[in-house]
Amino acid sequence: MRLTLALLAAVFAGATSAEAGVPAPARYTVQMQLIADGKVIGTPTVIARIGDPVAITVDQPGGYSMRVTLFEGRRANTLRLGTEIRLKRDGQWTLAGTPTIETAIGRDAAIEIRQPEGSGVSVIRLESRLAPTAL
């Protein structure tokens, strides 16, 4: 009986330790700067996990909306930042682009999106920096 209880306690303790030893998904601080025709229109910062989308909306004239998702990078120590950027012009949300940037963690990255003539903006620039975030 004592042996059975000891074995059950050991199995239970092992299972608990294994569960406690599983690392939580990594979180990253994503600092961004959104620039339209040379003018900064937003500087959002979000905390994101790989694969979990985060939405940001500034609902005002000249505002913007972004959907940001982190993905594993193709090279070591890199992540891909997938975005969907919408701009608010004349009360309507317009898709400005869906750029993806691959960047080394802790390094700056940027991408420019040329806009069609008549859209009210000619160039959107997204600058970003990713850093691990402590849990």
Give the pair of three-digit tokens for residue 32. 């961004």
Output the CA torsion 42→131→134→58 (10° steps). 10
CA distance 89 to 60: 9
What is the domain partition of the chain in residue ranges? 24-133
| pLDDT digit string, tens, across residues 84-93 | 999 998 889 9
Cα angle, residue 27 at apex, residues 133 and 40 outer, rounded to 5°? 75
Could you tell me the pLDDT band of residue 116, with boundaries at 50, 70 and 90? Answer: confident
DSSP annotation string for 89-122: ETTEEEEEE--EEEEETTSEEEEEEEPPTTSS-S
- Cβ atoms of 114 and 125 within 8 Å: the answer is no
| pLDDT digit string, tens, across residues 13-43 | 444 333 444 454 589 999 999 999 999 999 9
